[in-house]
A and B are shown apart, each in its own frame.
Chain A
Amino acid sequence: MNDDRRTILIVEDNDDDQFLFREAWIKAGVSNPLAFVSDGEQACDYLSGDGRYADRSAYPLPILLLLDIKLPGKSGLEILAWLREQERFKTLPVIMLTASTWPEEVAEAYRLGANSFVIKPSSAQDLTAFAAAVKDYWLRFNEFAPG
């Protein structure tokens, strides 16, 4: 069962994509709060509760992570690898996002422990459909590990 007050963390460096994501999310009727960070450093800090992310009431641990692959500094795949080495994040569902990819990259993401791999929808309509699908599958039918 989903608790719709629990946060979804999105690692995305592109401001436009952040804005459109939020818009699509609202349009699809997702009521979970969205938290955004723009690079790998921030993602690790957020998840570890370091620095300005120390306050868990303002920056709660997410139930779902959407992780862009192409990021400034650490890549999404590096963050994913780091994440799966941390005991408390081994069970966090991760959806990889990318603008374009090749088969080996997809395979590598799954090997590193991604739960899903999505090419960023190219139209606002598809982005909304994607948000609606996440809502239906991950937030409605999917069971999260306790923690």
Chain B
Amino acid sequence: MVGEARGREEFRAALETAANAMVMVDVRGSIVLTNAEADRLFGYEPGELSGRVVEVLVPDRFKAAHPAHRTDFLKMPSGKVPMGTGRVYFGLRKDGVEFPADVGLSHVRLKEGSFVVASVIDVTARHASDQRLREAEEDLRRTVQDLEGFAYTVSHDLRSPLRAIQGYAHFAQERLKDTADPQSLDMLQRISASAVRLDRLIRDVLSYSAITRQAVELAPVDLDKVVDHVVGMYPILQSARLSVARPLGAVLAQESLMLQVVANLLVNAVKFVPAGRAAAIEVRTERSAPGKVSLVVADNGPGIPRVHWERIFQPFARLPSARGVAGSGIGLAIVKRAVERLGGTIRVESDPCTGTRFFIELTEAVHER
């Protein structure tokens, strides 16, 4: 509250020099003072607004509720509504054109009584660009949604004829195995194998898009159980030397996503070990920051050159060294997307001597006491 002892006339000088449009209103809602910027902004002659009710500056659709707002404001103990809250008001010019505005209010007490001073800025430009941004965001969101829906439908509809191709080739091969020449049988075998490969690829694309779309709920997930579960699901892992530094502890995650992350990393570690070498995988956790745990998966594979450390997480980015290894090139992209959905980060370290280490940092799950 400003100027307890000052009078209205002294106040006029202060308002007149303000850069913002200023409108001073008495407790009954009559305008007692406007500065030159206010007259210009609302399109009135100097002094023309004096004595009018302040609602002449308010668009029709807000007029009815406005007096109640005035009364409420006068009861507010703080006596202030600051500008820049992000809330958009609307002003009405004399010519009937309305404009978006930022408005700040102060309750002032002068010798003549209580008044409200409103400071008004025309935010048409900002409002329009906000609006454009919101529309662009909405457009983008709709496009992404359409694309994902499209990818889902296409992938789904592709699978059905693929099943048929694989099925016919397989059963034809079975029927002909005693009578056809080996080359024809080999061709049927290749048709069937290609269809299986394409089907796996489509399924991977589907699960990649599903990770983006599905709702994620975080809860404590026991990493020891996740590793056990994955080892049980993938027979290929039982041939590897797997050392797990138990207990791994628990992190905040969603079990289904965590299973996918750990499965893809462990299966990769085994798949990319050069022929003739036995896969040795180490799984451990380390405290990486307060409240953060990193799950580390280390292998004894051929290593990944530093130039590829970013690229391996992109969908369909397969390195030359992956030639001859089955896969769609989407496994690590799924891992990264899943870790991000869990609010975590993933990074890789690798060299040809010691192999590759993946670090997945997530929030530690605190045990309830």
The CA of A110 and the CA of B233, in the complex, are separated in Å by: 26
The answer on a CB contact under 8 Å between B159 and A16 is no
Indicate if A17 sits at the interface (CB-CB under 8 A): yes
Closest to A15 in B: B164
B-contact bits for A1-40, CB 8 A (1 contact / 0 none): 0000000000000101101100110010000000000000
Q: A99-B156, A123-B196 are in contact. Are A20 and B163 (CB under 8 A)?
A: yes
Q: A14-B160, A16-B161 are in contact. Are A27 and B174 (CB under 8 A)?
A: yes
Question: Number of contacting residues on B, CB 8 A?
Answer: 19
The CA of A68 and the CA of B213, in the complex, are separated in Å by: 26
B-contact bits for A91-106, CB 8 A (1 contact / 0 none): 0000000011000000
The CA of A124 and the CA of B171, in the complex, are separated in Å by: 7
How near does chain A come to B151, taking the closest CB pair, in angstroms? 13
How near does chain B come to A11, taking the closest CB pair, in angstroms? 16
**Residues in A whose Cβ lies below 8 Å from that of B199:** 122-123
Q: A122-B199, A125-B170 are in contact. Are A16 and B164 (CB under 8 A)?
A: yes
Indicate if B59 sits at the interface (CB-CB under 8 A): no
Q: B interface, by DSSP: helix, strand, loop or mixed?
A: helix
A-contact bits for B154-174, CB 8 A (1 contact / 0 none): 001001111110111111001
Indicate if A43 sits at the interface (CB-CB under 8 A): no
Indicate if A120 sits at the interface (CB-CB under 8 A): yes
The answer on a CB contact under 8 Å between B170 and A123 is yes
Tier of interface size on chain A: 10 to 19
**Residues in B whose Cβ lies below 8 Å from that of A127:** 167
The CA of A27 and the CA of B156, in the complex, are separated in Å by: 27
The answer on a CB contact under 8 Å between A99 and B167 is no
Set B160, B167, B196: member contacting A23, Cβ < 8 A: B167
The answer on a CB contact under 8 Å between B159 and A99 is yes
Q: A27-B174, A123-B196 are in contact. Are A20 and B160 (CB under 8 A)?
A: no
The answer on a CB contact under 8 Å between B163 and A120 is yes
How near does chain B come to A16, taking the closest CB pair, in angstroms? 4
**Residues in B whose Cβ lies below 8 Å from that of A24:** 171
The answer on a CB contact under 8 Å between B156 and A16 is no
The answer on a CB contact under 8 Å between A122 and B164 is no
Set B159, B164, B196: member contacting A20, Cβ < 8 A: B164
The answer on a CB contact under 8 Å between B164 and A17 is yes
**Residues in B whose Cβ lies below 8 Å from that of A122:** 159, 162-163, 166, 196, 199, 203
Q: A16-B164, A17-B164 are in contact. Are A124 and B159 (CB under 8 A)?
A: no
Segment 188-225 of B: residues with Cβ below 8 Å from A:
192, 196, 199, 203, 206
Closest to B174 in A: A27
The answer on a CB contact under 8 Å between B171 and A20 is yes
The answer on a CB contact under 8 Å between B166 and A123 is yes
How near does chain B come to A102, taking the closest CB pair, in angstroms? 9
The CA of A18 and the CA of B196, in the complex, are separated in Å by: 20
The CA of A99 and the CA of B206, in the complex, are separated in Å by: 13
List residues of chain B with CB under 8 Å of any chain A CB. 156, 159-164, 166-171, 174, 192, 196, 199, 203, 206
- Residue pairs across A and B with Cβ atoms less than 8 A apart, 14 shown, are A14-B164, A16-B161, A17-B163, A17-B164, A20-B164, A20-B168, A23-B167, A100-B159, A122-B163, A122-B203, A123-B167, A123-B196, A124-B166, A124-B171
